[in-house]
Amino acid sequence: MVENPLTPHSKDLGLVAAQAANAPIGEQVPASFFKQLLGFWVTFITIFKKVNTVQYPEVKEPTAERFHGRHQLNRYEDGLEKCIGCELCAWACPADAILVEGANNTDDERFSPGERYGKVYQINYLRCIFCGLCIEACPTRALTMTNEYELADDSRGKLIFEKEDLLAPLRQGMLQPPHPMVPGTDHLDYYRGTITGSDPAQAVKDA
Amino acid sequence: MSVEELLGADPGWIILVKGLLIFVICVVATLLSIWGERRLVARMQQRLGPNRVGKFGLLQSLADGVKLALKEDLIPKTADRIVFVIAPIISVTACFMSFAVIPLSGQVNLFGHKTLLQLTDLPVGVLYVLAIASVGVYGIVLAGWSSGSTYPLLGGLRSSAQVISYEVAMGLSLVAVFIYSGSMSTSAIIAAQQHWWFCVTLFPSFVIYAISMVGETNRAPFDLAEAEGELVGGFHTEYSSLKFALFFLAEYVNIVGVSSLATTLFLGGYHALPGLTFTENWLGGWFTVVWFLAKVVMFFIIFVWLRGTLPRMRYDQFMKFGWKVLIPVSLIWIMIVSTLRVMSQRQTPRAAVFGFTFGVVLLLLAASSLMESNKKRRAREDEIGEVAIPSFPIPELPTKRTEQING
């Protein structure tokens, strides 16, 4: 890459750049007529260059790795939800797109380790600006973003995503909450990340 | 058989068929040229352009046309209703009519009838084309005026001023052709190019015509009338649905029209390239249509190329260029051409012709060097010398570069 003489460098404290910036403007002569005709060559030769078009609905290029797409509510390895209903995401949201209502976990009906869980979780994708501040605010990494970007729909109602739309799917070895924590552990073990999977004892008794 | 005999023997139904043929050719050419322009200009920008409707997107403009036709037809409250409706019709009729005198082919066999693909051959054919083009301006002016809105009015005035000024240059560039061919009828002009096409012998005229035809059709870089950033859409801002489609059609038929006039006047019309004249007899003479269309398509590609390359001109630059460059240059060129023509008709001795040519070249060189030194002198006068710094604070003179903030 050619070094831009006007870019300040830390090495010379920007002195070179300042000198270049202070140089008097030289005589501004338009290029000769034949030089100006070069523009026609540029457009002509571009005809034979490779096009950048992606045939979108048929061909889907992967997004950038950290592309801000649809949100996802994550789970612990045993299936319990990470969301604790603290509403920090909703508070962080500059577009007021998130609505959270927390509720208390009980021993009979436990959705997340610890005291509270998110009972209602809605993200309005007509308001969301995909800035990611909610992700930064989340204390338990419950909320992250996926790379999914196909979020168009034909009504306002369909674009308010509920908790069940946002929750990560149950993977191998996960149990559908509500269910108790892994026997012999407490919520701190969950937060430390020592839970590696579900235990048969967690299976809900009444099911 | 001469052109008059061939065309004079046409029965009524052949004339009808020809009229229909011209209409169909114009409409299909419009559909294809919109598609072609979009594809080509897309490639110049490393895109693909429309490629979904039909094979290679060929039916894209047809789909757009259907969409336009199905849209709501709005007439603004402040519009003059009658004129508002008539304006696009005038525009589109005028551009179709100019095709009546364009010869599309040599002698062909049309349903067992020997004829030419030319509706009629007026003795003042080219003048007729110019006259009809001027009528087309009415469509633009009336559309702009009758919309009852500011931007269309401005756009309409702009484009009519533009078309009128470039028509002068266009008309003047054709004078040399008339002088050399001795006729204003399109078929006679084509016949006069048997040996040398006029784009070679009358090169300056050809260049002036080529420039002024871009101005005449309101195309980039002369598309000031439709300068989106300044005038919304120009004269057709308030138009929608089929009426808008008519303006669209008129614009493209106009392009094809001026291109075919250029083909007729400067590129030997339907005749083949020199050295390939044997192809004119292929398919019973119908192959001449291919030659004609190939030349028109070449012009159209140049139109697209211009659009893909050049930025839009400023209005005053554009007018200055038309009135102060194109028109004087074509006037001088006409004088030279007519003098040479008179000399050759009176069999002036060769030495006199050479002397005249030499004198003209000398004069042109002298004039150009005079202009150059004048420009330099004026630049020196315009230079700002040392200015005494006044006692009150003044902003710094722009002698320093502005600092670039980011790399």
Predicted confidence at residue A207, as pLDDT, reads: 47
Q: Is residue A140 part of a domain?
A: yes
User: DSSP labels for A12-23?
Assistant: TTTHHHHHHHTS
Residues B171 and B327: their CA atoms lie apart, in Å, by 10
Mind telling me how many Å the CA of A56 is from chain B's nearest CA? 12
- Kindly tell me if the per-residue pLDDT of A8 is higher than 60: no
The pair of three-digit structure tokens given for residue B156, joined into one six-digit string? 């309409």
The pair of three-digit structure tokens given for residue B162, joined into one six-digit string? 């533009």
Residues B19 and B342: their CA atoms lie apart, in Å, by 40
Closest to B269 in 3D by CA, of B178, B184, B187, B212 = B187
Q: Domain tally for chain A?
A: 1
Nearest to B407 among A4, A49, A52 (CB): A4
Predicted confidence at residue A2, as pLDDT, reads: 53
The pair of three-digit structure tokens given for residue B345, joined into one six-digit string? 């008709």
- Please state the rounded mean pLDDT for residues A188-201: 88
Contact check, Cβ <8 Å, A51/B403: no
Closest to B58 in 3D by CA, of B27, B36, B30 = B36
Cβ pair B258, B216 in contact under 8 A: yes
Contact check, Cβ <8 Å, B47/A50: no
- Please state the rounded mean pLDDT for residues A27-45: 83
Q: Is residue A133 part of a domain?
A: yes
The pair of three-digit structure tokens given for residue A83, joined into one six-digit string? 């969301």
Q: What is chain A's mean pLDDT, rounded?
A: 87
- Please state the rounded mean pLDDT for residues A181-203: 87
> Is A10 in the B-facing interface, judged by CB distances under 8 Å?
no
**By residue range, what is the domain housing residue A151?**
71-198
pLDDT digits (tens, 9 = 90+) for B77-110: 888 989 999 999 999 999 899 888 888 887 887 7
Strands (E), B16-173: 107-110, 113-116
- Kindly tell me if the per-residue pLDDT of A203 is higher than 90: no
Q: Is residue A116 part of a domain?
A: yes
Q: Is residue A81 part of a domain?
A: yes
pLDDT digits (tens, 9 = 90+) for A116-170: 999 999 999 999 999 999 999 999 999 999 999 999 999 999 999 999 999 999 9
Q: Is residue A86 part of a domain?
A: yes
Q: Is residue A207 part of a domain?
A: no
The pair of three-digit structure tokens given for residue B387, joined into one six-digit string? 């200015």
Residues B94 and B254: their CA atoms lie apart, in Å, by 9
Predicted confidence at residue A1, as pLDDT, reads: 47
Choosing among B39, B46, B402, which should be mutated to test the A contact, i.e. which has the most A CBs within 10 A?
B46
Contact check, Cβ <8 Å, A25/B400: yes
User: DSSP labels for B281-313?
Assistant: GGGGGTHHHHHHHHHHHHHHHHHHHHHHHPPPP
Predicted confidence at residue B404, as pLDDT, reads: 58
We report the CATH number of the domain holding residue A86 as 3.30.70.3270
**Nearest residue of chain B to residue A24 (CA atoms):** B400
Closest to B275 in 3D by CA, of B198, B192, B195 = B195
Contact check, Cβ <8 Å, A53/B47: yes
How many Å from the N-terminal Cα to the C-terminal Cα in chain A?
65
Closest to B264 in 3D by CA, of B76, B162, B121 = B121
Contact check, Cβ <8 Å, B309/A24: no
Instruction: Give A-chain residues touching B407 at CB under 8 angstroms.
Output: 4, 6-7
Choosing among B403, B405, B406, which should be mutated to test the A contact, i.e. which has the most A CBs within 10 A?
B403
The pair of three-digit structure tokens given for residue B391, joined into one six-digit string? 């006692």
Q: Measured between alpha carbons, how far is residue B58 from residues A59, B51, B372 in Å?
A: 22, 7, 51
Mind telling me how many Å the CA of A39 is from chain B's nearest CA? 6
Q: Is residue A8 part of a domain?
A: no
Contact check, Cβ <8 Å, A40/B48: no
Contact check, Cβ <8 Å, A46/B43: yes
Q: Locate tokens 């419009």: which residue?
A: B30
pLDDT digits (tens, 9 = 90+) for B345-363: 888 788 888 888 899 899 9
Q: What is the pTM of this model?
A: 0.77
Mind telling me how many Å the CA of A55 is from chain B's nearest CA? 10
Assess whether the previous peptide bond of A178 is cis (omega < 30° from 0). Answer: yes
Instruction: Give B-chain residues touching A7 at CB under 8 angstroms.
Output: 404, 406-407
Q: In chain B, which stretches have pLDDT less than 70?
A: 1, 225, 227-231, 384-387, 396-407
* CA angle in degrees (0–180, nearest 5) for B76-B71-B54: 145
User: DSSP labels for B66-106?
Assistant: HHHHHS-----TTS-HHHHHHHHHHHHHHHHHGGGG----S
